[in-house]
Structure 1
Amino acid sequence: MAEPVQASAAPRPVGRYPHARRAGGLLFLSGIGPRDPATDSVPGNVIDADGRVIRHDIAAQTRAVFANVRAVLDASGARWDDLVDVTVYLTDMAGDFAGYNAVWAEYFPDPATAPCRTTLGIDALPTPIAIELKCVAEPKE
């Protein structure tokens, strides 16, 4: 069985699965969102009196999800530069794609060295987040 990874510096998974699993020379990360590892809050969310999200900041959530991905990579002995493929899930493609894409460009300024990427618009995620990443990395030994 492939070696599971749990990252103490990343938010706890919302289900019964590891943060990542090593298989052969690849590292497969489970879906990772922007929740704060210490408080479980979601950066950039504005909540109304009934507990519903009324507004979110996609740039804040994108930076937070990148930090959480980095925490899992670090716990796995991998680096940011080891990412080879990223699938991005956005709950508001029309409203959030440009903001998310701008932050992506900050973290990956050179398309020639950036990981492959697929971005999907979806209806919802299991917690009140606007973005989730599914990543594959190839750690250098």
Structure 2
Amino acid sequence: MLPKTAVTPDTHTVPPATFSHGVRKGNILQVAGQVGFLPAEDGKPPTPAGPTLREQTLQALANVAAVLEAGGGSWEDAVMIRVYLTDTGHFAEFNAIWNDYFADLREAPAARTTVYVGLPAGLLVEIDALAVLG
């Protein structure tokens, strides 16, 4: 039986409930939903990167990337990415940010699902990922 390992980058705080920022089992790495919180500072509550979709999206992507890296992977290993937006009006802007961010991965990009949800006040986007490591 393959061991299951919790993955928490140094930049992340302890989750507010019993879950892991990432879990690796064999060559599978699941990254939990990451919002646009800035890297953790000792003793301070997490704060969003800013009020805009762009600021929060770029930070959420950086947070997912940090979990991928801590688990031994990268965006190249991501096969599925789920995006949770709070406003349907943000879809076009989000896609523009996404396309710029992943410009180098256009040949074989990960699959993506985007849904609309409610998130805590002030948060506009959450992103999770599933990676298969080589």
Category of TM-score, reference length = shorter chain = 0.7 to 0.9
Structure 1 residues 2 and 127: alpha-carbon distance in aligned structure 2, compared to 1, 3 A threshold:
farther
Q: For 1:42, what is the secondary structure of its paired residue? A: coil
Aligned residue in 1 for 2:34: 32
Determine whether 1:135 maps to 2:129. yes
State the alpha-carbon separation in 2 of the partners of residues 26 and 78 from structure 1: 10
* Normalised TM-score (structure 1): 0.81
Q: Deviation per CA, 1:38-96, whole angstroms, max 9, x where unpaired?
A: 35211222xxxxxxxxxxx11111100011011111111111211110010000122x1
Determine whether 1:44 maps to 2:50. yes
Runs of 4+ off more than 3 Å: none
What RMSD in Å do the two structures reach over aligned CA positions? 1.7
Structure 2: 5+ residue runs without aligned partners?
none
Which amino acid in 2 is paired with 1:43?
A: A
Structure 1: 5+ residue runs without aligned partners?
46-56
Determine whether 1:8 maps to 2:10. yes
1:11 shift after superposition = 4.5
1:4 shift after superposition = 1.4
Contact 1:11–1:35 (Cα < 8 Å) also in 2: no
State the alpha-carbon separation in 2 of the partners of residues 11 and 102 from structure 1: 29
Q: Deviation per CA, 1:22-42, whole angstroms, max 9, x where unpaired?
A: 123210111111111235211
Q: For 2:115, what is the secondary structure of its paired residue? A: strand
1:98 shift after superposition = 1.4
Aligned residue in 2 for 1:106: 100
State the alpha-carbon separation in 2 of the partners of residues 29 and 97 from structure 1: 22
Structure 1 residues 17 and 135: alpha-carbon distance in aligned structure 2, compared to 1, 3 A threshold:
same
Aligned residue in 2 for 1:115: 110
Determine whether 1:88 maps to 2:83. yes
1:127 shift after superposition = 5.7
Q: How many positions carry a matched residue from both structures?
A: 127
